Amino acid sequence: MKQNLSLLLLLALALPLHATVIINKAQPLTPVITQYQKAEWNITLTATYNNPYDQRQVSLDMLLKSPSGKPLLLPCYYDAVQQTWKARFTPQESGTYQYHFHLQAGQEDTSNADQRFTAQASNSQGFLHKHDLWTFQYDNGDLFRGIGENIAWESRDFEADKWTYQYLLPKLAQNGGNFFRTWMCYWNLPLEWKKVHNTKRYSNSDAYFNPGAITRMDSLVAQCDSLHLHFMLTLDWHGHFMQNGGWKNSNYNVANGGPCTTPTDFFTLPAAQEMYKNRLRYIVARWGYSSSIAVWEFFNEVDNAAFTQQDSILIPLPAIAQWHLEMSRYLKGLDPYQHLVSTSISHRDIIGMNSIPYIDFNQKHIYKYTEKIPGIYPDYIQTFGKPYVVGEFGYRWEDQDPKYAVEADYDYKRGLWYGLFSATPLLPMSWWWELFDDQHMMPYLQSVRTISNHMLNAGKGAFTPIPVKAGLLEAYALQCGQTYYVYLLNNTDTTQSPSLQLTVPAGYKLQQFTPSANAFTTQAYTGTAKGMAIRGFALPAKTETVLVFSK
């Protein structure tokens, strides 16, 4: 008996007087949890750390088992305003989930007891994922083709104040748009910037993450959720690494307390990579719950950071490719919803970038050569075997001088139709949104959306390019199910009335769609030895039409 008491005493002395890592309480905040809708928890904990955003010091995860038995790991985040830890989770399955929280602080860790919740079934579509070369697919199986434009930032301090998300995004949704692309940079959603520039919307801050950026990002996500708009969130841009651009104020620059002496260090130093992973973790934890965020895009035009205008190399290209491999692999492992992942170049490919398995689609930007867009997709698809996207296009890249508005409007229209009749899940997205707003071009998206919906309904996701010729007109044709679509563009300076060389089953009816009116008219046609003749057909110079042949 004395020996047993001595042993118990020794064990008691060996144990700490109190645990230093404790999950005190995990409080559900959502009374009724529903599939594809956000549910939230507040978590109070005890741990020792200086920086709640540095996962090497402290990390809190929500570990779940879905109704189908799938294990999920959701990173949690610290809310500096409420001074508490939070979890935001969107169930992708209906049914009963089992979950607990796991806390790691330094070398110590702990978990709380298992809990359960039941997610009610929903008629919502869920998150977008890669499907094929032509479409993305929602969790519920519905297909999606993105139609929209770049709205890369809200008005800077030297621009008209009206171009805000509140002004532009409702217009986009009301006019048939379902997708846009926007940036994080030092004047827009400057999450990782202590010093901001060219903006009255944000203020400098010594906080680890800029509070103004957090508040604005919360608002943007909520707005897109309500409008049912999807967007590509561009996490960084090439100007970050330019000496006369963002580098002098970068949080990664050693002059500002960061780990990097040069921009190359950003891509190669382990300390810089850990810092970036902290950012990815916070973004996924705070906003990953939203199905409105369709794509995480690492960089805008990373080649413009790697090269000078004379094409001298500033940052080693293998380092950039290796960084993207590491970060895309990390992000896919971190994100329980498996959002799409991409990055972009301007015009110079970086060896290895197009073949990274964790990047879901490749993309580049086309300016001054909109007519080349249809030829880009088959070349890249055949070489790399994954979807391709033109993330920006336009008549000019230099500026939005309204003296080029007529040419820019023409480019805007044909770029969209080139994309609709090509193998891409996201139609080319125009740049210079301010100019096109002044030109009242956004309503034109309605016409493209009309035909896109028509194609998806007719073919249930089937798109087959078919041969077509139309004299001097540019012509592209698709078969979707049992319906045939022909896009005709008169790129000449005179009216054209050509015959159409296209094979269509006998007995089909023809409707002609006029994009400027977003309207169909019934047309009569006859077959001749030279091709198909459409009664009274004439297409004025610099205009377009779509022909729809159906049973």
Q: How far apart are CA 161 and CA 156, in angstroms?
A: 8
pLDDT recorded at residue 445: 98
Tell me whether residue 143 is in a domain.
yes
- Which one of 459, 489, 505 terminates a domain? 459
Q: 38-49: per-residue pLDDT in tens?
A: 999 999 999 999
Q: 335-389: per-residue pLDDT in tens?
A: 999 999 999 999 999 999 999 999 999 999 999 999 999 999 999 999 999 999 9
Per-residue pLDDT at 2 exceeds 80: no
Same domain, yes or no, for 451 and 468?
no
Q: What is the mean pLDDT of residues 481-499?
A: 97
CATH number at residue 27: 2.60.40.10
Q: How far apart are CA 545 and CA 266, in angstroms?
A: 49
Same domain, yes or no, for 200 and 70?
no
What is the crossing angle of helices 270-287 and 211-227, to 10°? 40
The number of domains in the chain is 3
Q: Identify the three-state secondary structure at position 234.
A: strand
Same domain, yes or no, for 107 and 222?
no
Tell me whether residue 88 is in a domain.
yes
Tell me whether residue 131 is in a domain.
no
- Which one of 427, 459, 491 terminates a domain? 459
pTM passes above 0.75: yes
pLDDT recorded at residue 528: 78
Same domain, yes or no, for 340 and 435?
yes
Q: What is the mean pLDDT of residues 238-256?
A: 94
Tell me whether residue 435 is in a domain.
yes
Q: How far apart are CA 194 and CA 216, in angstroms?
A: 15
Same domain, yes or no, for 154 and 221?
yes
Q: 9-45: per-residue pLDDT in tens?
A: 333 334 344 469 999 999 999 999 999 999 999 999 9
**Integer Rg of the chain from CA:** 27
Q: How far apart are CA 235 and CA 183, in angstroms?
A: 6
Tell me whether residue 170 is in a domain.
yes
Alpha-carbon dihedral 456, 458, 461, 463, rounded to 10 degrees = -100
Number of H helices, E strands in the chain: 11, 27
Q: 393-438: per-residue pLDDT in tens?
A: 999 999 999 999 999 999 999 999 999 999 999 999 999 999 999 9
Same domain, yes or no, for 68 and 188?
no
What residue spans of 269-404 are helical by DSSP H?
270-287, 303-306, 317-334, 373-384
pLDDT recorded at residue 181: 98
Q: How far apart are CA 173 and CA 341, in angstroms?
A: 23
- Which one of 459, 481, 497 terminates a domain? 459
Tell me whether residue 524 is in a domain.
yes
Same domain, yes or no, for 386 and 468?
no
Same domain, yes or no, for 218 and 293?
yes
Tell me whether residue 396 is in a domain.
yes
Same domain, yes or no, for 358 and 376?
yes
What sign does the CA torsion over 188, 191, 193, 194 have?
Answer: positive
Q: 129-176: per-residue pLDDT in tens?
A: 999 999 999 999 999 999 999 999 999 999 999 999 999 999 999 999
Per-residue pLDDT at 522 exceeds 60: yes
pLDDT recorded at residue 15: 39
Q: 43-89: per-residue pLDDT in tens?
A: 999 999 999 999 999 999 999 999 999 999 999 999 999 999 999 99
| Structural domain span for residue 226 | 136-459
Q: 264-312: per-residue pLDDT in tens?
A: 999 999 999 999 999 999 999 999 999 999 999 999 999 999 998 888 8
Same domain, yes or no, for 410 and 470?
no
pLDDT recorded at residue 11: 36
Tell me whether residue 4 is in a domain.
no
